[in-house]
Amino acid sequence: MANLSYGGLHLTPPKILALGFIVLIIAGTVLLSLPISSANGRISWIDALFMATSATCVTGLAVIDTGTGLTTFGQIVLLVLFQFGGLGFVTMATLVTLVLNRRISLKERLLLQESMNQNSIQGIVLLIRRVLIYSLVIQLAGASVLALRFLKDMPAGKAIYYGIFHSISIFNNAGFDLFGDVHGPFSGLTRYAEDPVVNITAILLIFLGGIGFIVLSDVIDFRKRRRLTLHSKVVLWTSLILIAAGAALFFWLEIYHTLRPLHPGGKVMASFLQALTPRSGGVTTIDIYKLRESTQFLIILLMFIGAAPGSTGGGVKVTTFALLIAAVYSRIRGKEDVVLFRHRLSKENVYRAITMTLLSLLLVMTATMLLSITEKADFLAVMFEAVSAFGTSGLTMGLTTELTTIGKILIIILMFMGRTGPLTLAYALRPTKGKELYRHPEGHLMIG
């Protein structure tokens, strides 16, 4: 991995990305702690840090209701943070460079390569241009549709503002909403559980934001190329299977419980939204704490899997999940190679997926154990909160507002590590080593 030199410091791209998020979080914390940001007196530094981290890491967990606890200034600070956090501060910095008609340097191209999970810098600037254009078009379309719908419930100016805020929030998988000002604190989208416009728009925005910009670009180019890359096929098929299976299971588990009051169409829409939103969306039309424990555990599994690489979402990623399933299937069949869509995958890919999953499991288990000590809550609620923070999902069973100071710090760390990725953070923190000049003798170990 290349070292980039800045002011005499030799930093790898993962270190620069991690530092960039830290700078955004610090700036957001300072702005949110100002009296102008709070509607009810000054926000404490720990709450400002929590909200800034949640917005920058596009999580959506909130210790302060966004609609009632923050002023318009504070809400716009959050909006800027989750726009930068969702698209990536490197991508947004590139936008400024392109607007100023400056040349993109090699250092900047290497950073873009790392931030977009690309294997080379070839065509990276063109990809970033497309990311910015697609994101702007999708968010404007979503804002227009939502604003027109909200016109039925509020004045025009407020409807437009709500449309813009929620479109950007949902597309970036941030999960923040302002409806506490309309329907009561932390009410979310529960009043729109049977509204087809809000549900379908939210589902599309979450899906498009969660499949990743590389896949989005690939799908748009399908007419010309008449084929999709292996990465796009795996992301799309795995995402669709998880959505369909998650919706079916949610419907089956909740049809005679939380879904009972809804009409048939509302039941279907709620099932699909609740199957999609755990994988980083953060908005919900059903009160999570009212769900069955089995449904809550299903959501935990979906939050842990997360969205696609190079997207606005978190989790271990759908490609990691698909690769692990394929590896298990290959081993059961007694095959040497791991194959997906008639493509053999390298052992490096398999090792990376295993490392990512084990690091993530270790992180979540450690955080859950610590939170179960610091917080007075059921174990399932504690685990739900930990996985939600790591997967940058933003869903909660009501524990977020009850967190102790230590609990808030633990969740802040989880949100940061979930957004940057445990593997990326490990690469950022590891010491630089040269190539090993020797290999140990091969050993044999009994497994199973």
pLDDT of residue 447: 67
247 or 103: which leads in pLDDT: 247
The percentage of residues in the chain with a pLDDT greater than 90, rounded to a whole number, is 48
393 or 90: which leads in pLDDT: 393
3-state SS of 258-323? Answer: CCCCCCHHHHHHHHHHHHHHHHCCCCCCCCHHHCCHHHHHHHHHHHHHCCCCCCCCCCCCHHHHHH
> Contact at 8 Å (CB) between 27 and 33?
no
> Contact at 8 Å (CB) between 132 and 91?
yes
Which residues 6+ apart lie within 8 Å of 264 measured at CB?
Answer: none
pLDDT of residue 29: 95
pLDDT of residue 75: 94
Tell me the pLDDT tens digit for each residue of 132-187: 888 889 999 999 999 999 999 889 999 999 999 999 999 988 889 998 888 778 88
Average pLDDT, the chain: 84
Q: How far apart are CA 301 and CA 306, in angstroms?
A: 9
Q: How many CB atoms lie within 10 A of CB 43?
A: 24
Per-residue pLDDT at 283 exceeds 80: yes
pLDDT of residue 259: 93
What is the average per-residue pLDDT within 186-194?
87
Q: How far apart are CA 61 and CA 13, in angstroms?
A: 28
Q: How far apart are CA 422 and CA 306, in angstroms?
A: 14
Specify the range with the lowest mean pLDDT, choosing from 218-232, 236-250, 370-384: 218-232
3-state secondary structure of 345: strand
Tell me the pLDDT tens digit for each residue of 327-366: 999 989 888 888 888 888 888 888 888 988 998 999 999 9
136 φ, ψ (degrees, to nearest 5): -65, -45
3-state secondary structure of 33: coil
Per-residue pLDDT at 1 exceeds 50: no
Parallel, antiparallel, or unpaired for β 4-6 and 9-11?
A: antiparallel
pLDDT of residue 408: 95
Instruction: Specify the DSSP class assigned to residue 440.
Output: P
pLDDT of residue 422: 65
pLDDT of residue 356: 87
Q: How far apart are CA 18 and CA 191, in angstroms?
A: 38
What is the average per-residue pLDDT within 82-91?
72
3-state secondary structure of 253: helix
| Single pTM value for the model | 0.87
pLDDT of residue 4: 47
What is the average per-residue pLDDT within 274-295?
89
> Contact at 8 Å (CB) between 229 and 217?
no
Confidence of residue 437 (pLDDT cuts 50, 70, 90): low
Specify the range with the lowest mean pLDDT, choosing from 18-27, 102-111, 273-282: 102-111
